Amino acid sequence: MSNMPRKPAAEITVDQLLARGARALQRAGVQCLQGTADFRDEAAMIIWHELGLDHDDPGAGQQPVTAAAQARCEALLQRRAAERIPAAYLLGEAWFCGLPFHVDQRVLIPRSPFAELVEARFAPWADPGPAPRILEIGTGSGCIAIACALAFPGAEVLATDISADALAVAAANVARHGVGARLRLLQADLYDGVEGRFDLIVSNPPYVPESDLQVMPPELAWEPRSALAGGGADGLDLVRRIIAGAPTHLRPGGWLAVEVGAGMAALERAFPQLAFVWPEFERGGDGIALVAAGDLPEDNDAPGATAPGH
């Protein structure tokens, strides 16, 4: 009996590993908030990355997984479940506009519905032309600014962030995507040191209301506080300053696009005189306000420019 050759353990397929992984994440109660739609999507992100599979390969699910590769994937899934660490930080990578970005705990994990606006080149609302000047405020990983630079090959892009740590990650991504000749990074508090006027100003600033910061899922606690907090009681403190500064930084015919998430009604209340456009997104998400330069007050004294009580 002891001399009989041992039968190797049967290999499982990628699909079987995926089903097990998704069930494990569901049992652990992880929250899928950072760019994935559900447990299966979350498990697939980890497994496809770890095994080097192609998301466009329809046969990937039927491939056998070696015991060693299975163990590697299960170790990552285990950390995702036990530590509630976001998958993108485990892998060091996130996708935005179909592009890979390096991410780590210095930056927010890319997931903004801005991706759809950039892919549509802001049509049918803004028409920035073939060679626009674009300003991004609060660039984080650089994902929106870099995707804009690639969507508009003639564009000149300036991307600011108050965090030197975030800008270091953005710089790595600018180099990765080869857009350094047209995209400049600047450490700045909103518009400080920003010169000239722009055809487009885009921003996904921190907008989580203070009270919501106390009750965040564990996954969000891994992200930089400065990427989520700073919006004050209603989340809109930075948004008010971005809107107030837009008239002196936009060219005639330009547009401001600013994300406020669940703060849509609060923004409408704060600026009743502004004609915001709220695009609907096919892939989910909402809360990006577009406003044309011509509709913005020049004097910055309009109601809403200052938060009540500030």
Smallest separation, CB 303 to ligand SAM (Å)? 23
- Per CB under 6 A, the list member of 205, 245, 261, 287 interacting with ligand SAM is 205
Token digits of residue 265: 């009604």
Q: Which is nearer to ligand SAM, 36 or 160 (CB)?
A: 160
- Per CB under 6 A, the list member of 132, 230, 247, 261 interacting with ligand SAM is 230
User: What are the beta bridge partners of residue 65?
Assistant: 12
Rounded CA gap, 267 and 271, in Å? 6
- Cα 129 to the center of its chain, rounded Å: 25
DSSP-assigned letter for residue 302: S
Q: Which stretch binds ligand SAM (CB under 6 A): 33-41, 116-124, 202-210, 277-285?
A: 202-210
Q: What 3-state class would DSSP assign to 26?
A: helix
Task: Note whether 227 binds ligand SAM by CB under 6 A.
Answer: yes
Q: Which stretch binds ligand SAM (CB under 6 A): 76-84, 223-231, 279-287, 301-309?
A: 223-231
Buried b (16+ CB within 10 A) or exposed e, 88-124: bbbbeebbbbebebbbbebbbbbbbbbbbbbeeebee
Token digits of residue 85: 């660490």
Q: Which is nearer to ligand SAM, 44 or 190 (CB)?
A: 190
Task: Note whether 246 binds ligand SAM by CB under 6 A.
Answer: no
Q: Which stretch binds ligand SAM (CB under 6 A): 20-28, 54-62, 66-74, 162-170?
A: 162-170
- Per CB under 6 A, the list member of 24, 162, 216, 277 interacting with ligand SAM is 162
Residues within window 129-148 making contact with ligand SAM, judged by CB under 6 A: 137-141, 143-144
User: What are the beta bridge partners of residue 68?
Assistant: none
User: What are the beta bridge partners of residue 185?
Assistant: 159
Task: Note whether 173 binds ligand SAM by CB under 6 A.
Answer: no
DSSP 93-127: EEEETTEEEE--TTSPPP--THHHHHHTTTTTT--
Q: Which is nearer to ligand SAM, 36 or 204 (CB)?
A: 204
What is the number of other CB atoms lying within 10 angstroms of the CB of residue 196? Answer: 10
Residues within window 105-124 making contact with ligand SAM, judged by CB under 6 A: 108, 110, 112
Task: Note whether 226 binds ligand SAM by CB under 6 A.
Answer: yes
Binding stretches for ligand SAM (CB under 6 A)? 108, 110, 112, 137-141, 143-144, 160-163, 166, 189-190, 204-206, 226-227, 230, 238
